[in-house]
Amino acid sequence: MISATEPDWERENPVRGRFEPGKKLLAAIRHFQRLRTKSDLMSKLIRSIAVVQYRFWSAITGADIPLNSKIGGGLLIPHPNGIVIHPDAIIGPNCLIFQQVTIGAGSKPGLPIIEGHVDIGAGAKILGNIHIGAHARIGANAVVINDIPANTTAVGIPAVFR
């Protein structure tokens, strides 16, 4: 079973010769995040290049994943088009997010906390101050507005777990 606590960084590495825009976008985000605490001139220059790469891959993918996002390592976004993640939402390691997913604010004040190794199906919406437990699965087009326990599957509008 894939770990919900230890990131598998290999999952994010682009395969040479393949067109993997999701992995390229994540690489630009990670590159920027590694450099943002450094203040020397060379780091500032390289950080500017990372921002340009980030903007390029954001435009190619149509994804809105902020540079300052709180995403654990090992994220997979095989079809990144239309993914929107609030900068203050927390996503644990080794998650899988498909296309057209929104993770952000809802009717409950606050933002989602998603633990490790959560699979989120295409078109799902995870909204508000909710907690998704480790190894949970969110079905395609589900609208999650309540907490989902670990090791369960949530489907429907509004999503219920089984």
CATH number of the domain bearing residue 133: 2.160.10.10
Mean pLDDT of the chain: 93
pLDDT confidence of residue 22? 94
* Residue 2 belongs to some domain of the structure: no
On the question of pLDDT at 1 being above 80, the answer is no
Do the domain assignments include residue 67? yes
**Which two tokens mark 14?**
């682009």
Q: Indicate whether 79 belongs to any domain.
A: yes
Residue 48 lies in a domain: yes
Q: Smallest Cα–Cα separation from 162: which of 134, 121, 153?
A: 153
**What angle is formed at CA 104 by the lines to CA 61 and CA 130, rounded to 5 degrees?**
135
Evaluate whether residue 1 is within a structural domain.
no
The pLDDT assigned to 107 comes to 84
Average confidence (pLDDT) over 117-135: 96
Task: Give domain status of residue 26, yes or no.
Answer: yes
97-121: pLDDT as tens digits: 999 999 999 887 899 999 999 999 9
Rounded to an integer, the average pLDDT of 124-147 is 96
CA distance 128 to 145: 6
pLDDT score of 143 more than 80: yes
- Identify whether 4 is part of a domain: no
> How many domains does the chain divide into?
1
pLDDT-based confidence at 93, cuts 50/70/90? Answer: very high
Which among 84, 94, 89 has a CA at the least distance from the CA of 135?
94
| Long-range CB contacts (within 8 A, 24+) of 35-43 | 36/68
Provide the residue range defining the domain that includes 54.
9-161
In a domain, 3, yes or no: no
